Chains A and B, each alone.
Chain A
């Protein structure tokens, strides 16, 4: 029972263009969403988050959009850089809880 789904295992983008990573969730009780980035041989590192009371959060080149009615969020990276090549995990959490449910990840390749 996958409550958080990242349907694209991989994505390839040209340097300087926009990368869009997508995530869908099924549990309407989730109210906090996070994106983590993972390089090989390292643990995931927190990238950006969004609360369910917002529909957009921006941090430099990274923007997360939340569409609650569609139970969908996306991470936009613009402009994409070769150093952005990594696995990106979408994650979700319910109110006041500690349990964070992760998606299976999307591997982003940014070509120079």
Chain B
């Protein structure tokens, strides 16, 4: 089955220690997104890629970076995680070029900060 896969499902890191979350997709979608979701809150868009074109949300902290080396993979790098960065991180994809396409989500990576 075509899908969006996030690894790892759970990640623990130390305060200030860089961490990378990964996402891969077999859907061949040209748009990939990263969302941050804190408990009982709405998923918040951090940034998205349209092919190699990177689009950062205005309120995404500089601490958060992303890389998309090819169509299938996208990474979220948190350079110096703080306690407030503990959250569920969701990767999603969608197909551009056709109007009104829904997003397909991975199961998320839950990040804990010690």
Contacts and interface: CB of A to CB of B under 8 A. Distances in A.
- Interaction A to B: yes
Interface of A: 2, 4, 9, 32, 34, 36, 41-46, 49, 51, 89, 93, 96, 98-105
A45 B105 contact: yes
A98 B96 contact: yes
A102 B38 CA distance: 13
B48 A46 contact: no
B100 to A, nearest CB: 5
18 contacts: A9-B40, A42-B107, A43-B90, A45-B105, A46-B102, A46-B103, A46-B104, A49-B100, A51-B100, A98-B48, A98-B50, A98-B94, A98-B96, A100-B103, A102-B42, A103-B42, A104-B41, A104-B42
Contact of A43 (B44, B94, B105): B105
Contacts of A96: 99
A41 B50 CA distance: 27
Contacts of A36: 102, 105
B90 A104 contact: no
Nearest to B105: A43
B19 interface: no
B42 A44 contact: no
A59 to B, nearest CB: 12
Nearest to B50: A98
How many residues of B sit at the interface, in one of the four size bands?
20 to 34
Interface in B43-81: 43-45, 48, 50, 55, 57
Interface of B: 4, 6, 31, 33, 35, 40-45, 48, 50, 55, 57, 90, 92, 94, 96, 99-100, 102-108
Contacts of B55: 98
A43 B108 contact: yes
Contact of A99 (B41, B42, B45): B45
A104 B94 CA distance: 21
A2 B99 CA distance: 25
A104 B38 CA distance: 10
A88 B34 CA distance: 19
